[in-house]
Every structure is written in C-alpha cells, then in structure tokens.
C-alpha cells in the first residue's frame, strides 16, 4: 500500500479518536472518583487526546522515513532486515490510534451497559496485546537478520545480566497480576478472568513479547557496534537509540497498563504526569528513528 494511503488511514484514525473523546459520554464513575464535573472531564480527555495525537503524528513521521529507507535498500544485503523492522514499526505506530479508538468505544459500551464491562475489559486487554505483539515479532526478526549480516563475536548473542533481568521482570509482573485487587467471584478487576487464564494468555505473551523486543533493541545496538563505516555507524546510532527508546517505553507503558488498577488509586496529577512522561519519551524515540533514517537515506541520495 502506498505511503499516502497509509497516511490518510492513520490521520483518519487519529481524528476518529479525538471525535470519540469529545462525542462519547464520559465515565461517571471516573468523574466521581476524581471529583470532576462533566465539562472538566471532557476537557481532561481532550488534554490527553490532543497531545497523544500529536505524538502519534511524530511516530508516523519516524515510521515514514524508516519505510522510505527500507524500500530504497530492499534489494541489498541489509534490505530484508530493514523491511522487517519497518513493517514492525508500521504495526506498532498504527497500534497507537487503533487501540485508543477501540478502548474508547469499548469503554462507551461498558458505560451504557454494566453487564458489558467484563467483555469490554477482556477485549481491551487482548487488543492492547495483539498488535504490539505482532510488531515486536517483526522488529525482532529484522534485528536478528541485521546482526547476521555482520561478523561478530559469539559472545554478543545475549547481553550480560539478561537472564537475571528477565527473571526479575517475570516474577514482578506475575506477582503484580496475581495480587491485583479482586472483585466478585474471585475474578480480578483488571481482567475479569481467572488467574490461570490471565497468566497463560496475557502474562506469558507479554513477557515473551518484551523479551523479544528488548533483545531486538540489543541486537540493533550490536549491529551498530560491529558494522563497518564510521559515518554509517554514526547515522545508525540514531536508529539504535530510537528503537531502544520506543521498545523500552512500549514495555513500560504495557507494564503499567496491565497493572493499572494500582495506578488508578493515585491522584489524578501523578497519573497524568506518568502518561505525559511516557508519551513524551516515545516521541523522542520516533524522532531519533526519523533522524537516523533520513541521514541513511542521504547516503543513497548522492
């Protein structure tokens, strides 16, 4: 599909999200929890939606330059690797407005009918998982292919302390899920599913996705380290930094969302602060990607 067509679809999704934020009824329980009037709640929604949409456009900017570069070099040795990474980035970028729009409509349906809340929550959890999962698999595959194009020592295959790091991440995440606040029938407020189902169909896929994603960021960094070319490496460092940032931020955001019931106990200001900081960080990641891709494209231009 042409880049322009993709852009129109993306802009349409962003617009749909902003319209949904304004047009759909607000959650009365949330408004009461934070002591907000309906008007104030709508303004707050917009105060989140508009910066989010702006960040998504920055994400698109980063992706479009990466895509342009990947297409340029598709018939070279590194071409298939960059194409896979670009494909994964496309899915990750599109997942931003898609999950937001679906969440907004699922929330609306849950507000309209309390019986729909469990279905809405379950669907929202799986939607949040599915697209980033697919994107991380593509990025991971691309990063692995990229590293194979250069000669590197065998020891770089796995970063130091990766095993203990993953054990800590897995146990912390699993503990937070198991110890989440419960509602009726022993089902968790964040999931409306029994623990075994949450662990097997949400926790395990998330942990696998994060492992692959973080490893991909490491592999791209190692590719940059072992590839030849001082100027090429310098330009590649932007891509490396960008991917490391967006993967880390994506992991952190998903981690926070999956244990969101604990976050919701905070006052509004810390919640907004956490959201804005994470979104700002991810925008920096995409700006780095755009910068790196543009500079790499400049080599192919002359």
Partner 1 sequence: MTEKSSSLYQQIVEISEDYLGPTAERFINRQIETHLAIVPEKIKEKDLKKLVQWIKLAFSLISNDTDESTEYAARLLNLIESSASYGKAR
Binding residues vs partner 1 (CB under 8 A):
73, 76-78, 149, 227-234, 295-296, 298-302
Structure tokens at 111: 């507000």
Q: What is the DSSP letter of 191?
A: T
Query: What is the nearest approach in angstroms of partner 1 to the Cβ of residue 220?
Result: 14
- Residue whose CB is less far from partner 1, 108 or 232: 232
CA dihedral 19, 23, 28, 31 (to 10 degrees): 50
Query: What is the nearest approach in angstroms of partner 1 to the Cβ of residue 5?
Result: 29
Interhelix angle 204-226/162-178, nearest 10 degrees:
150
- Residue whose CB is less far from partner 1, 45 or 84: 84
- Residue whose CB is less far from partner 1, 178 or 231: 231
Query: What is the nearest approach in angstroms of partner 1 to the Cβ of residue 64?
Result: 20
Q: What residues have CB less than 8 Å from 21, skipping those under 6 apart? A: 42, 45, 46, 48, 49, 104
Phi then psi for 153, rounded to 5 degrees? -65, 150
Q: Provide the H-helix boundaries in 149-229.
A: 162-178, 195-198, 204-226
- Residue whose CB is less far from partner 1, 141 or 224: 224
| Integer CA distances (angstroms), 51 to 48, 95, 131, in order | 6, 16, 22
- Residue whose CB is less far from partner 1, 14 or 239: 239
Query: What is the nearest approach in angstroms of partner 1 to the Cβ of residue 235?
Result: 9
Distance between CA atoms of residues 148 and 171, nearest Å = 32
Which residues share a beta bridge with 188?
182
Task: Give me the residue label for tokens 């309390």.
Answer: 114
Query: What is the nearest approach in angstroms of partner 1 to the Cβ of residue 302?
Result: 4
- Residue whose CB is less far from partner 1, 14 or 73: 73
Interhelix angle 230-258/204-226, nearest 10 degrees:
170
- Residue whose CB is less far from partner 1, 76 or 171: 76
Query: What is the nearest approach in angstroms of partner 1 to the Cβ of residue 246?
Result: 23
Query: What is the nearest approach in angstroms of partner 1 to the Cβ of residue 234?
Result: 8
Phi then psi for 265, rounded to 5 degrees? -75, -15
């Amino acid at each position: 599909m042409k880049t322009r067509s993709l852009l129109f679809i993306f802009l349409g999704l962003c617009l749909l999200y902003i319209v949904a934020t304004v047009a759909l009824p607000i959650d009365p329980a949330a408004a009461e929890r934070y002591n907000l009037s309906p008007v104030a709640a709508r303004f707050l929604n917009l105060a989140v939606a508009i910066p989010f949409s702006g960040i998504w456009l920055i994400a698109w900017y980063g992706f479009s330059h990466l895509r342009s570069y990947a297409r340029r070099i598709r018939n070279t040795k590194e071409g298939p690797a960059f194409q896979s990474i670009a494909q994964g980035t496309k899915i990750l970028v599109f997942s931003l407005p898609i999950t937001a729009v679906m969440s907004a409509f699922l929330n609306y349906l849950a507000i309209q009918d309390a019986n729909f809340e469990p279905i809405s929550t379950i669907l929202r959890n799986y939607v949040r998982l599915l697209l980033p999962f697919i994107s991380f698999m593509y990025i991971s595959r691309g990063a692995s292919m990229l590293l194979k194009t250069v000669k590197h020592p065998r020891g770089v295959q796995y970063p130091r302390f990766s095993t203990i790091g993953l054990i800590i991440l897995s146990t912390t995440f699993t503990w937070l899920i198991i110890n989440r606040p419960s509602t009726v029938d022993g089902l968790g407020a964040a999931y409306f599913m029994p623990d075994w189902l949450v662990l097997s169909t949400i926790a395990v896929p998330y942990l696998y996705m994060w492992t692959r994603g973080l490893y991909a960021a490491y592999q791209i960094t190692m590719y940059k380290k072992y590839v030849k070319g001082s100027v090429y490496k310098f330009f590649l460092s932007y891509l490396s930094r960008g991917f490391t940032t967006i993967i880390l931020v994506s992991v952190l955001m998903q981690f926070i969302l999956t244990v969101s019931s604990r976050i919701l106990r905070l006052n509004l200001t810390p919640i907004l602060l956490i959201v804005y900081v994470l979104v700002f960080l991810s925008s920096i990641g995409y700006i780095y990607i755009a910068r790196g891709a543009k500079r790499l494209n400049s080599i192919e231009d002359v």
